[in-house]
Copies of this chain bind each other. A is one copy, B any other.
Amino acid sequence: MAKIPTKIYLTEEELPRAWYNLRAFMKEKHEPFLNPATLKPCTADDLRPIFCDGLIEQELDQTTPYIEIPEGIREFYNMVRPSPLTRAYYLERELKTPAEIYYKFEGNNTSGSHKLNSAVAQAYYAKEQGITRLTTETGAGQWGTALAMAAAFYHLDLTVYMVKVSARQKPYRRAVMETYGAKVIPSPSDTTEAGRKILAEFPETGGSLGCAISEAVEVAAAAPDCRYVLGSVLDHVLLHQSVIGLEAKLAMDKFGIVPDVVIGCAGGGSNLGGLIAPFMGERLQGKNDIRFVAVEPASCPSLTRGRYAYDFGDTGKTTPLMRMYTLGCGFMPSPNHAGGLRYHGMSPTLSKLYHDGYLEAVSVEQTKVFEAAVRFARCEGILPAPESAHAIRAAMDEALRCRESGEKKVILFGLTGTGYFDLTAYTAYHEGKMSDYVPTDEDLKRGFDSLPDIPQNREARA
Contacts and interface: CB of A to CB of B under 8 A. Distances in A.
A418 B110 contact: yes
A122 to B, nearest CB: 16
The 6 closest A-B pairs by CB, nearest first: A175-B423, A5-B12, A152-B378, A172-B423, A6-B78, A9-B9
Nearest to A77: B6
Contacts of A149: 381
Contacts of A374: 179
A426 interface: yes
Contacts of A423: 171-172, 175-176, 179
A176 B383 contact: yes
Interface string A171-209: 110011011110000000000000000000000000000
Given A5-B12, A383-B179, A172 B78 contact: no
A323 B383 CA distance: 39
A421 interface: yes
Interface string A250-285: 000000000000000000000000000000000000
A277 to B, nearest CB: 24
Contacts of A426: 175-176, 179
Contact of A430 (B6, B179, B377): B179
Contacts of A378: 152-153, 180-181
A125 interface: no
Given A180-B377, A418-B110, A423-B175, A78 B12 contact: no
Contacts of A108: 108
Contacts of A64: none
A111 to B, nearest CB: 9
B421 A79 contact: no
A175 B423 CA distance: 6
Contacts of A336: none
A456 interface: no
B5 A110 contact: no
A110 B381 contact: yes
B110 A175 contact: no
Interface residues of A, number: 42
A152 B374 CA distance: 11
Contacts of A421: 172, 420
Contact of A12 (B7, B90, B379): B7
Given A172-B423, A175-B423, A374-B179, A153 B379 contact: yes
Interface string A226-254: 00000000000000000000000000000
Contacts of A175: 423-424, 426-427, 430
Nearest to A80: B381
Contacts of A457: none
Contacts of A427: 175, 178
A11 interface: yes
A183 to B, nearest CB: 12
A432 to B, nearest CB: 13
Contacts of A6: 12, 78-79
A359 to B, nearest CB: 31
A109 interface: yes
Nearest to A12: B5
A112 B112 CA distance: 12
B381 A5 contact: no
A398 interface: no
A153 B13 CA distance: 35
A14 B383 CA distance: 27
Contacts of A179: 374, 377, 383, 423, 426, 430
Interface string A74-87: 00001110000000
Contacts of A180: 377-378
A420 B172 contact: yes
Interface string A374-417: 10011111110000000000000000000000000000000000
